[in-house]
Structures are given as structure tokens and as C-alpha cells.
Amino acid sequence: MNTQGKGAALILGAFLCGGLMALGFQISQSVIEYRQFERSVTVKGLSEQEYPADIVIWPIQYTVADNSLESLYESIENNTGLISDFLTARGIAKSDISVSAAAITDKSAQQYGGNAAPTFRFTAAQTVTVYSSDIDLVRGVMGQLTELGKKGIVLNQNNYQANVEYIFTRLNEVKPMMIEEATTKAREVAEKFAKDSQSVLGKIKRASQGQFSISARDRNNPHIKKLRVVSTVEYYLSD
């Protein structure tokens, strides 16, 4: 091979070597950038708020007993009328009051309880229910139930079926604000983590919203509801 051919081969080899080195550098940089792109941190943000309930369901349950079925029904009708009058006289609308069918038991038809004859053959449980959006009014009337006891009405206040229920129906109204708050708090945590790790916080990689929970604030204030949601957010990190 002559001198001129050797020179051309050396030049070609130098170009090939340089190209391979450049390609290798670009590939290594791409791998580094890719790995940086995959770095992430997952954080959680909590939002808790308290709101008053907007619906109250108040079942007023009472019992009557008699040996005559006819007299029993008369007592049911009389007591239900007294309860309805008691409620409307204190400002509760008639449209907010409903009466369920009475549950009547014939003790002589029961196959248990021994041979002792019951004092009364028939017993009945009746429920008058208040369904209202005026929470304060209804709660005020609840404190006056002793007036019904003075009229001879036997109330079943310890029966689980007569528990008062408070409902919060405005969840869709407060959802956006609470989700925004939870996401903001999650980002604050992520920014603190990025700062402490000498990283730069990037865009959101993925996010998920937890379920909203609604519970009574405490046992003594069931009409005040505590709403809670946790958002989980994953952010990209880079150096």
C-alpha cells in the first residue's frame, strides 16, 4: 500500500473512531437522562373539613299493649295523633312527618315463654318519623320529649331502630375545594422532599384520589360532620 493510501485509511479510521465515541457519549447521556426522568417521589395530602348536616331523620317509636285488638288500634291512633300535634305545635311541618305501619304481636300465638299467661295479649310498636332540613328546630324539639311521656306515651328511646340520623348531602359541592387542598398539601410535602434531597421537583407522574369519608365530629355532636379525603400524588424528580 502506498503512502497516500495509508494516509486515507488513517483519516477514515479517525473519523470512525470519533463517530463511535460521539455515539457512545450520546447513548450514555440518554441513559442518564432517562434514569433521571424515571426518578420520582410519592406523597400524600390530607384535607379535613367540618360541615353541619343538612338532613335529620328522627324516628319517634312508642309501644302500647292491650287485651283487646280494637282497643289497641284505638290507642295507636290516639298516640300517633298526640305525637303529630306535639310536633306541629312546635313548628315542624306536617309534610316532614310520616307514620309507619304498626308492628303488632299476639303473645298468645307465640310458641315460647313458658305457660305463664301474659299480662296483655297484644302489643304494638309504632314509629312516627320526622324527616327535615331544619336541624336546629328539630334538635330543639327533641329536648321536649318528656311532654309526651306526661301524656302517657311509652317511648322506646333506647331502641337502635329509633336512633336519630344526620345526613350530609352537599358532598359534590365541597369536593373540588377539598381535592385542591389535598393536592396542594401533597405538593408542599414533595417540594420539601426535593429540597432536602437536592433535587428539582417536576411534573405529576400519576395521581389518585382516595375515597371521601363522612363521620360525626364526636359522639356528642353527630349533627356536625367531619369530611376527610387523602390524595396520593407521584412527582418526577431531577438533579
Instruction: Indicate which CATH number applies to the domain containing 227.
Output: 3.30.110.170
Q: Both 209 and 228 in a single domain?
A: yes
- Give yes or no for residue 21 having a pLDDT over 60: no
Boundary (domain end) residue, out of 139, 167, 195? 167
Highest mean pLDDT among 84-88, 145-149, 192-196, 205-209: 84-88
Distance CA 106, CA 122 (A): 5
Judgement on whether residues 76 and 161 belong to the same structural domain of the protein: yes
Q: Are residues 122 and 151 in the same domain?
A: yes
Q: Are residues 48 and 116 in the same domain?
A: no
Neighbours of 132 (CB within 10 A): 20
Assigned C-alpha cell, 168: 350530609
The verdict on 30 and 84 lying in the same domain is no
Q: Which of the two residues, 34 and 183, has the higher pLDDT score?
A: 183
Dig out the grid coordinates for 221 from the structure. Answer: 355532636
**3, 49: one domain:** no
Q: How far is CA 166 from CA 105, 122, 163, in A?
A: 31, 34, 10
- Which residue, of 167, 185, 206, is where some domain finishes? 167
Domain housing 139 = 55-167
Among 17-31, 132-146, 212-226, the range scoring the smallest mean pLDDT is: 17-31
The pTM of this model reads 0.75
Stretch among 4-13, 49-58, 177-186 having the lowest mean pLDDT: 4-13
d(CA 151, CA 84): 13
CA distance 62 to 67: 18
* Residues 100 and 180 grouped into a single domain: no
Q: Look at the chain and report how many structural domains it folds into.
A: 3
Question: CA 43, CA 180: separation in Å to the nearest integer?
Answer: 15
Taking the C-alpha atoms of residue 99 and residue 90, their distance in angstroms, rounded to an integer, is 18
Report the 10 Å Cβ neighbour count for 229.
21
Give the pLDDT confidence score for residue 24 in this predicted structure: 45
Residues 61 and 154 in one domain: yes
If you ran DSSP here, which 8-state letter would residue 5 be given?
H
Average pLDDT, the chain: 85
The amino acid at residue 153 is I
